Chains A and B, each alone.
Chain A
Amino acid sequence: MRLPIHLLLPLLTLPLHALGQTAPEVKETPPPATEAPPPNALQGMEERVGLLQGQLEALEAQYVETKNSVLTFSKLKFSGYVQARYAYAENSVGGLDASGNPAVKDGFTIRRGRLKAQYQGDYASFLLQIDATPTGVTLKDAEASIREPWSGLGITLTGGQTKWPFGYEIVQSSGDREFPERTRVVRAFGPGERDRGVKLALKAKWLRANIGVFDGNGTQNTKYIGVDNDTEKDVVGRVGADFKWLAFGVSGWAGKSYRASDYTVAPNTVGKFFPRNRIGFDAQVYLDLFPFGGTAIKAEFIAGTTYQANGVERYGQTALGWYALLVQNIGQREQVAVRYDFFDPFTGTPNQADARNDSLPASSNQVHTVGVMVTHFFDDVFKASATYELPIVEPGGPKAVAPRQNLFTVQLQAKF
């Protein structure tokens, strides 16, 4: 828009200079066609140039204003993804289970319907993410962040509802994860992955450090969704290194969980605080072993006290688990992955048969899960994956037989 001013002005002023220079020649050979315009015509042209210049300057001002508006919108970004899923579960039955919840574990569902809005200012940023599924719309992330610009250390302070800075799989986006769901150990120690609090992040060359203070209950504790039930706060953090082909870290979690009055448990266990601690190690290696595609090996170990199972806090219970994941790309569009996942929900308690029915394993027994997955990327928006997972519960007794609960999942994902 600016260009026309500089192009037009010389063009418009050129006839005036030309007229001034050729005036004597007009006197010598005055052809009628090149006769000098009368003074009032010259004045009119000057006024017209002045008018045009004013109009162009006004346009320039409008252009700057429009550009500022466009810049504002260019900082606002929307993204999201939908995961449409069909699952076939071996242990799926009709009707309701003992708790009154549907016992059907297979069929079609919208597992995730995410929409994220993000505004990135010079120093501050806004982020809001919701999840719309057949069961309702829930808030996932609501973050207010500010970046410190002076040190070059990439220090960012974030407050709101945000992911716990713990380990690898909790932080990894479900839209990027290879398997449809997180591992058992991560689902137990980081249910919902998010909590309300404040966290500080630092990125300096290869160093990655994050620490935060959170309510501690997360977003899936059915008794305390959206609220804290005690005055204690949990401190969660991770220190790690990222060398591009290798990344690893150590995570820690220190906090307390208050058990309020509950008619279903012994009176001496209520009205007291239980430690809610975790320690974790994670590592990811990315290798160029084969000419047809990259190879990644990822592993994580977590052990701790007090975790959640089906939205209920298991106060003071110790558990541990780990997983190892191998992912291989084949060409640009195919990906295969194998995952082994181990979870011991009651460490220190030996595997045993169910006390009420010795043909079944106890719920405290260890679980091994082996999964295989194949994904085809149609483009950078759409991918389809098929996953087969075999959970193996330790039987814990000569008569006990682990229930068959293999799961086959087909998922279509569109992401923008």
Chain B
Amino acid sequence: MSFIRIAVLALLVPLSGVAAPVTVKGSDTMVILVQRWAEDFMKKNPGTKIQVTGGGSGTGISALLNGTTDIASSSRAIKEAEQEKLRGRYNTPGHEIAVAKDGVAFYVNEKNPLSSLTMNQLKQIYLGDITNWKDVGGPDAKIIVYSRENSSGTYVFVKDHLLNGDDFAASAQTLPGTAAVVNAVAKEKFGIGYGGAAYGKGIRELKVKVGDDEVAPSLENVKSGKYPLARDLYFYLRGKPADEAKGFIDFCLSEPGQKIVSHVGYFPIR
């Protein structure tokens, strides 16, 4: 008798409207933004639960590949090898949705007199070829370089777009999350770090010298592509979004969703 009851209950559970949560896993850069989206979406859709976790873009895409998340948030584009795995395992090329724009900003301590560096100077600092601020027009002090873990999409973006695939200097200190980088640079007078533009508050963002111009990671420079380290922030799914996941993504791309993007400190996709 008890077995029949359990069986009936098991059959009724799917009919009772208790839906499985939509899981979003990945980018630490995007975690605050996605949490804000999720909070607002769940307020408007009380029957839907969105679970948001960080861990890094690579972690999110791995979770998408092994089926433990519905949506991977990523601050870098999916790699070809990852896409091939997705095709091989799920017979789908995956579904990429750009949900916001960002400029990877380099931060220095507020007491650092420098206001801008060239891409080449930044590259040399992160490769470990320049180790003293005086070599780039700053004070005579050792540069304390902060970086991210290799599961971070921002790490991969900087490695690919600034270092042209070369390795970061071994002396670069690896920190978990952009917030930790900002915190370290705020405390370390001679520190330098990088992360999403949204995290740039409380410390100074360096402008990037492009020719004679000093280009800040601002809305207009990121949207126009003038800022050389501009990037899209993505959601990746195994297939076309459906059901609750589709509703959530539609909300993220809607006008209220894109207002949240600006409010958090990133730039709307449209």
Contacts and interface: CB of A to CB of B under 8 A. Distances in A.
A binds B: yes
Interface of A: 2-3, 6, 64, 67-68, 71, 74, 122, 149, 176, 203, 244-245, 286, 288, 291, 293-296, 327-329, 332-333, 335, 377, 379-380
B93 A286 contact: yes
Nearest to B164: A149
B83 interface: yes
B88 interface: yes
B91 A122 contact: no
B236 to A, nearest CB: 12
Contacts of B83: 244
B165 A122 contact: yes
A71 B170 CA distance: 9
B73 to A, nearest CB: 19
Interface string B59-103: 000000111000000000000100100011111111100000000
Contacts, number: 65
A128 B240 CA distance: 38
A293 B90 contact: yes
A149 B159 CA distance: 13
Given A244-B93, A293-B239, A380 B170 contact: no
B45 interface: no
B167 interface: yes
Q: How large is the interface on B (under 10, 10 to 19, 20 to 34, 35 or more residues)?
A: 20 to 34
A380 B238 contact: no
B interface: dominant SS:
loop
B229 interface: no
A380 B65 contact: yes
User: Taking each of A2, A74, A245, which has the highest tally of chain B beta carbons within 10 Å of its own beta carbon?
Assistant: A2
B187 interface: yes
A356 B269 CA distance: 75
Given A67-B170, A149-B165, A286 B144 contact: no
A64 B171 contact: yes
A327 to B, nearest CB: 5
A176 B188 CA distance: 49
Nearest to A152: B164
Rank and list the top 7 A-B pairs by shortest CB-CB distance, nearest first.
A294-B92, A294-B91, A296-B91, A380-B66, A244-B93, A332-B67, A176-B88
Contact of A288 (B66, B150, B165, B239): B239
B222 to A, nearest CB: 23
B188 A122 contact: no
Contacts of B66: 379-380
Nearest to B172: A67
B170 A286 contact: no
Interface string B152-188: 0000000000001111001101000000000010011
Contacts of B92: 286, 288, 293-294, 329
